[in-house]
Amino acid sequence: GAVVSQHPSRVICKSGTSVKIECRSLDFQATTMFWYRQFPKKSLMLMATSNEGSKATYEQGVEKDKFLINHASLTLSTLTVTSAHPEDSSFYICSAGRVQKNIQYFGAGTRLSVL
């Protein structure tokens, strides 16, 4: 149990386009989801915390207009990278918080390459 599906696993796009990444908790309800960014050979940097039905809370230094987060249901959160530029190229990982277990379960990540 506790499976988190993240899609797509890899995306290549042209500079200036927008990219949407989906994060789904398949077998549990996640009131809280998290979005991270990971640079090569670095740790995970929390970008934002997403609560179902409310606005996401962004970490300091993360542009909320660049990284749009929607958490429309207890099983789905989306991250949209708007007007992507090469510097947005990175590995993005989502996770879902499971209330009863006090644990985050992670998706497999999305490799974004902006040309």
Partner 1 sequence: AQSVTQLGSHVSVSEGALVLLRCNYSSSVPPYLFWYVQYPNQGLQLLLKYTTGATLVKGINGFEAEFKKSETSFHLTKPSAHMSDAAEYFCAVSVPSGTYKYIFGTGTRLKVLA
| Residues 6 or more apart whose Cβ sits within 8 Å of residue 1 | 27, 28
Is residue 34 part of the contact set for partner 1 (CB under 8 A)? yes
Tokens of 75: 């099983």
Pick the piece of the chain touching partner 1 (CB under 8 A) from 14-22, 66-74, 76-84, 96-104.
96-104
| Residues 6 or more apart whose Cβ sits within 8 Å of residue 20 | 78, 79, 80
Q: Indicate which single residue of 12, 26, 72, 103 sits in contact with partner 1 (rule: CB under 8 A).
A: 103
Is residue 22 part of the contact set for partner 1 (CB under 8 A)? no
Q: Containing H/E element for 88?
A: none
Q: Indicate which single residue of 47, 56, 90, 97 sits in contact with partner 1 (rule: CB under 8 A).
A: 97
Is residue 54 part of the contact set for partner 1 (CB under 8 A)? no
